Every structure is written in structure tokens, then in C-alpha cells.
Amino acid sequence: MSLSLPAPFEQPKAWWQAAARKAAGLLPKRLYARALLIVIAPIVILQGVLSYVFMERHWQLVTKRLSTALTQDLAALIELHQTYRSKANDTILSQIAQQRLRIDLEFLPAGDLPPALPKPLFSILDAALSNEIMRQITKPFWLDTVGRSNYIEIRIKLDDSILRAVAMRGAAYASNSHIFLLWMVGTSFVLVVAAIIFLGNQIKPVLSLAAAAEAFGKGRDIEFHPSGAQEVRKAGYAFIEMKRRIERAFEQRTAMLNGVSHDLRTILTRFKLSLALMSASEETQDLERDVEEMQRMLNSYLAFARGDAGESAAEIDIEEFLYDLRFDAERAGSEVQISFSGGPLVTVRPDAFRRCIGNLIANAQSHAKHVCVQAVRDDRFLTVHIDDDGPGIPPNRREDVFKPFVRLDSARNQDRGGTGLGLAIARDIARSHGGDISLAESRFGGLRATVRVPV
């Protein structure tokens, strides 16, 4: 019994699913990129949180306290100026401010303050210092925190004069904050580089396992040694055990069939000897033909069962390979057209692949007058098309012809001997290379057989 959400919740659910699909499309597809994202994203988030806390809390607090201290010094100087009004005392105050407080102090004639400067967009110093002057001194003032990068100029309007003070920017502002940021960014960079190197070493065993599985699927010899993390090693050893079981199953099947073949061939040899000792007649000729047919069928069955699995893969020139097949076909009395494009070198099991393409060409020759073989080799696949102008095969029966011992009487002329194993053997070989065979309508009106194997 399935539960359905109430109607008001259906629309938000659809929005959420659409957003999840869109987010999934933006995420990286490869394991290495995803692992890096898992490592780097927390570092970036941590940096953002620390930066916010530092800028918003520590930096602002330190700046406020420094501004408070600077404003207190100015307030004390103003109190002394107003208590002891004389030029001599003002000169002494200026000297004390410069020597003890590191503030250049000057009393200007009374007048108006300069026009207010535009406020900086992001300036903790400007806001903190302005608030402290308004709170502690409560007199009109003018502030310049951006005119000279290393200094702050403050003018305060007094009753009889204007106080002009120039202090170092560091006296009211936490100017060493960039050191913290540099350490944080630098450390994060080192951690990210270390994570990239570490993850690369962890991904390599997975890629090696994938390459070994792909090579085994193509029927190639591999040398694979599990490495990496414990889980990856476990998967590697499981793959090796699976490979051994498959190879052992092939060996057992081949050994059994070889035994059956030996026994049947012994019986057929006895038949041949018995027929040789008999006088020639129509009956003996028919029996000899039956024995030869049984021998041929037995060889076909064994070839199908073995699948040429014991052969090693090797690099061949596919163009040369196809022209050899054309020569064999011409010796049999048929004309075959060959065309090829792309890089000529491919890695296959030569004898097995020859049998695969040869079976398809022979199948086309037996039912058509003209046969054309077209091969294309790109970066990933070798594709071979075998076209003929024969009667073809109905689309709904094309998969049936790949089944062992199936012969389509309605599709092609069957007045010839055959075991119904040619296409089954061809597909078995193609799949043992990691590829497949498909059938379609030919450009000549007959049948097109397409072999596609990875290179």
C-alpha cells in the first residue's frame, strides 16, 4: 500500500525534486572530483565561518578598544587644554602628545571644520572611532581615515580653537589582521594540495581495477595486483577470484568437450574404416557423405563451445586483415568489396576475430551475389559493416538467428547444409572482445551485419 501526500504538499515536493535533479546535474560525475569536493567544501566553509567570526567579533572588538583608548587620550588632552589655557601650555601638551602618546597635536585658530568626507563602504575603524568621539568628547568633529593610508587625522571644534590630531592608523585599528588571514589561507592551500595528492593515490587502485576488468572483458591478458585501501584491495581480490573461476569454467568445459570430441571422432574413424573396407556402391557413398557431414558438424559444435578463448590478444593491421579475408573469399569464387578508414592498428585475438568476420562474410556470400565490407576505426571502437544484396531477414527474427542451431527457412535459402552456428559463433567472439553484433537492413536491400568492438 503506497502513501500519497496531501494536495498542498504535492507542489513543494515537485519543486524539491526538480531542484534536486538540477543540483545533481551540476555535481561532478567522476569519483576523483566528487572526493575532492567532499574534502575541499568543508575547508572553504570553515574558512568562511572563521573569517566571519574573526572580522565580526575579534577584529571589531580590538578596533573598538583601540579607538576607545585613542579617544580617551584626546579627551584628556582637551581637558588639560581647557584647564590650562595658554600658548606655553599648548606647546607642552603638543610635546607630551608626540613623545608619550605618538600623536601629532596642533591647536588651530577657531573657525569652521572642513566639509565631511564620504564614508568608506566597509570601514570598522570609521564607525568605531566616530562613535567613541561622539560618546566621550561630545563636540563637533571631522574625521579622515582614508586620506593617508597609515595615518588618521582628527579635528575637533573647541570653544577657542580647533584641535588637530594626527595619529598612526595602528593606534586605533587592528592593522595586523591580514597576518591571520594569510596564515589561514596558506594553511588551507597546503591542506588542499595534500588532499589532492592523497586522493589521487587512493583513486589509482580503483582505476587500475576498472582497467583490469575492462581488459578482461575484451579477452586480453592482464597483470593485476590489488593495492590501495583495504576495501579496494578486497574488491581487487574478489575480481581476481572471479576471473579464476571464469577461466576454470572455460577450461573444464573445453576439457569435457575435447573428451567428447575424442570419443566421437573415434567412432567416426571406425565408420570410415568400415566404409573403406566395403565395396563401393550408392549406399556407401551416401554413408560417406553422412560421416563427412557429422565430422563437419562436430567441428562446428566444438568451435562454438570453445569460442577460441585460449588465444592471446595481439595488435594487428586491420586493413591488411580485411584484404586477406577478401583474398580468401575470392578464392572461393566470390567478389567482396573492401573499404577502410581510421587508424589501422587494433588489439584483438587474431584467429578468433578472423573467424568472426569470416563467418559473417561466408553467411553473406551464401545468400547474396554482392558483398561489401566497410570498416571504420575511431578512438574508441572498431566498427565493421558487412552488407549484401540477398533476401535479408525480417526485423522480428533478426535476434533469433544468433541462437545456436536456429535456421530461418522463411528468410533464406536452406537447400545447403549448415549447423545454424555461424552467427552464434560470430556473436560469441564479438562479445568475448567486449563488443557485439547487430543486424539491420543493408543499403543494397539485403542484410547488414555490424560488428562493433572496443579498441
Instruction: Give the CATH number for residue 331.
Output: 3.30.565.10
Q: Which value, to the nearest 10 degrees, does the dihedral of the CA atoms of residues 268, 274, 279, 285 take?
A: -10
**Could you tell me the three cell numbers for 379?**
578512438
- Residue recorded with cell 601650555: 89
- Residues 120 and 34 reside in one and the same domain: yes
Does residue 13 lie within any of the structural domains? no
Does residue 173 lie within any of the structural domains? yes
**Contacts for 439-442 with beta carbons within 8 Å, 24 or more apart?**
439/393, 439/398, 439/401, 440/398, 441/392, 442/387, 442/388, 442/389, 442/392
Per the document, the length of the chain is 455
- CA distances to 212, 235, 240, 299 from 216, rounded to whole Å, are 6, 15, 10, 27
Beta strands across the sheet bearing 381-388: 336-342, 371-377, 381-388, 447-454, 436-441
pLDDT (0 to 100) of residue 164 = 92
- Residues 296 and 187 reside in one and the same domain: no
pLDDT (0 to 100) of residue 414 = 42
**Could you tell me the three cell numbers for 18?**
526538480
- Residues 45 and 184 reside in one and the same domain: yes
- Residues 184 and 259 reside in one and the same domain: no
3-state secondary structure of 260: helix
Neighbours of 258 (CB within 10 A): 13
Does residue 185 lie within any of the structural domains? yes
**CATH of residue 254:** 1.10.287.130
pLDDT (0 to 100) of residue 303 = 62
d(CA 424, CA 403): 6
- Residues 379 and 412 reside in one and the same domain: yes
Helix 60-83 crosses helix 124-136 at what angle (to 10 degrees)?
A: 40
pLDDT (0 to 100) of residue 175 = 62
Residues 6+ apart with CB under 8 A from 17: none
d(CA 226, CA 205): 7
Does residue 219 lie within any of the structural domains? no
Does residue 431 lie within any of the structural domains? yes
Contact between 428 and 434 under an 8 Å Cβ cutoff? The reply is no
Q: HSE-up of 153 (CA within 13 Å, CB side)?
A: 13
pLDDT tens track, the chain, 455 positions = 444 555 555 667 677 777 777 776 776 777 777 777 787 888 788 878 877 777 667 777 888 888 889 899 999 998 888 888 888 888 898 898 888 888 999 898 888 888 887 776 556 777 888 888 888 888 899 988 877 778 888 999 998 889 999 988 878 776 666 677 778 778 878 888 888 888 888 888 888 888 888 777 766 777 788 887 888 888 888 888 888 887 787 777 767 767 777 777 777 788 777 777 777 777 777 777 777 777 776 776 666 555 555 567 788 888 888 888 888 777 766 678 888 888 878 888 888 888 888 888 888 888 878 888 888 888 888 888 988 888 888 888 888 787 766 666 544 444 444 556 677 888 888 888 888 888 888 888 888 888 888 87
- Residues 270 and 414 reside in one and the same domain: no
Does residue 3 lie within any of the structural domains? no
d(CA 163, CA 216): 88
pLDDT (0 to 100) of residue 373 = 87
* Domain end marker among 206, 222, 244: 206
- Residues 343 and 403 reside in one and the same domain: yes
* Domain end marker among 206, 221, 238: 206
pLDDT (0 to 100) of residue 284 = 76
Does residue 348 lie within any of the structural domains? yes
Q: Give 193: exposed, middle or buried? Use CB within 10 Å, 0-12, 13-18, 19+.
A: exposed
Number of domains in the chain: 3
- Residues 190 and 298 reside in one and the same domain: no
Q: Which value, to the nearest 10 degrees, does the dihedral of the CA atoms of residues 125, 128, 133, 138 take?
A: 140
Q: Decide the pairing of beta strands 161-168 and 151-157.
A: antiparallel
Q: Which domain holds residue 291?
A: 230-303
Does residue 2 lie within any of the structural domains? no
- Residues 170 and 36 reside in one and the same domain: yes
**Could you tell me the three cell numbers for 55?**
572580522
* Domain end marker among 303, 324, 358: 303
Contact between 383 and 342 under an 8 Å Cβ cutoff? The reply is no
Q: 272, 282, 372, 367: which is closest to 326 by C-alpha?
A: 372
Q: Is-above-0.85 flag for pTM? A: no
d(CA 324, CA 408): 30
d(CA 346, CA 307): 20
- Residues 109 and 145 reside in one and the same domain: yes
d(CA 357, CA 246): 25
- Residues 251 and 332 reside in one and the same domain: no
d(CA 313, CA 220): 5
- Residues 273 and 355 reside in one and the same domain: no
